[in-house]
């Protein structure tokens, strides 16, 4: 028996579908895929905030980047992929940490790409307008420096906003991830907990293909790559445990 979820009932009413069967046919065969995207947007859990699991950003600046740049020359690209980005707090926190805490920032050509399956939340990320709750963990000095308080909330400045490129990607769709290559660091936090074992393993393989040899992956605090895949080396840094694609 198919249990119809509230979000599906809502969309059945909005699309005037009397039976679930009619709605399902529309989801499968609509050429534009618009209804599937609308339903996906309704079903996602977008919980996030600035400086969530901040110890990993300290690990990035103090341990991961110094390790990575040993294999780089001045002027080389350094590419970070944040998936899922949700409304942008995580990739923007990374951008702010690099601006504030990484002395070698100007020696490299930094690129931050942030992806999510939810197009509605990506639009909100590009806008960069945040609630009190979103910025509650952010150091006050950074809040004052990079945000403007408006009647609608905290507006992130254009310099930080333009340093992150947002793209729509379904991590479980190989066609979506195929062109994501040559990254030095991947942040994939608080998504794999929602995946089953098969999808987690596929995600580990996707990241393996997306990373440069010697590249790193950071997961959420309750997630462990060792339980998912043996493709990576465990690296225990003082700030956090992260995973590395072998150099050879």
Q: Shortest Cβ distance from residue 173 to ligand SAM (Å)?
A: 8
Site string for ligand SAM, 177-196 (x = CB under 6 A): ------------xxx-----
d(CA 182, CA 79): 7
# residues near ligand SAM by CB under 6 A? 22
60, 61, 94, 121: residue in contact with ligand SAM (rule CB under 6 A): 121
Q: Helix, strand, or coil here: 164?
A: strand
**What strands, in cross-sheet order, belong to the sheet with 211-219?**
164-168, 109-116, 77-82, 183-188, 211-219, 241-244, 233-236
Verify binding: residue 8, ligand SAM, rule CB under 6 A.
no
CA 247 to chain centre: 24
Site residues (CB under 6 A) for ligand SAM, limited to 69-108:
83-84, 86, 90
Angle 197-185-140 from CA coordinates, rounded to 5°: 105
- Judged by beta carbon, residue 169 or residue 211, the one nearer ligand SAM is 169
Record the tokens describing residue 38, joined without a space: 């609308």
Contact 76, 109 (CB under 8 A): yes
Verify binding: residue 119, ligand SAM, rule CB under 6 A.
no
Q: Shortest Cβ distance from residue 62 to ligand SAM (Å)?
A: 20
Q: Shortest Cβ distance from residue 1 to ligand SAM (Å)?
A: 25
- Judged by beta carbon, residue 39 or residue 83, the one nearer ligand SAM is 83
């Amino acid at each position: 028996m198919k249990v119809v979820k509230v979000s599906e009932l809502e969309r059945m009413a909005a699309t005037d579908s009397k039976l679930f069967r009619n709605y399902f046919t529309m989801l499968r065969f609509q050429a534009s895929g618009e209804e599937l995207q609308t339903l996906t947007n309704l079903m996602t859990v977008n919980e996030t905030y600035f400086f969530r699991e901040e110890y990993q950003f300290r690990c990035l600046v103090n341990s991961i980047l110094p390790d990575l740049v040993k294999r780089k020359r001045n002027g080389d690209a350094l590419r970070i992929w944040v998936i899922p980005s949700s409304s942008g707090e995580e990739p923007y926190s990374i951008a702010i940490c690099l601006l504030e805490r990484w002395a070698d920032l100007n020696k490299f050509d930094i690129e931050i790409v942030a992806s999510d399956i939810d197009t509605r939340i990506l639009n909100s990320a590009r806008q960069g307008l945040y609630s009190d709750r979103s910025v509650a963990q952010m150091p006050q000095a950074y809040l004052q420096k990079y945000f403007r308080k408006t009647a609608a909330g905290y507006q992130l400045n254009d310099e930080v906003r333009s340093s992150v490129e947002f793209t729509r990607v379904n991590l479980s769709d190989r066609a979506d991830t195929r062109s994501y290559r040559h990254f030095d660091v991947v942040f994939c936090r608080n998504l794999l907990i929602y995946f089953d074992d098969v999808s987690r393993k596929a995600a580990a393989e996707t990241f393996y293909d997306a990373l440069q040899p010697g590249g790193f992956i950071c997961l959420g605090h309750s997630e462990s790559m060792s339980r998912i895949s043996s493709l990576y080396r465990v690296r225990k840094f003082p700030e956090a445990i992260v995973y590395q694609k072998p150099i050879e």
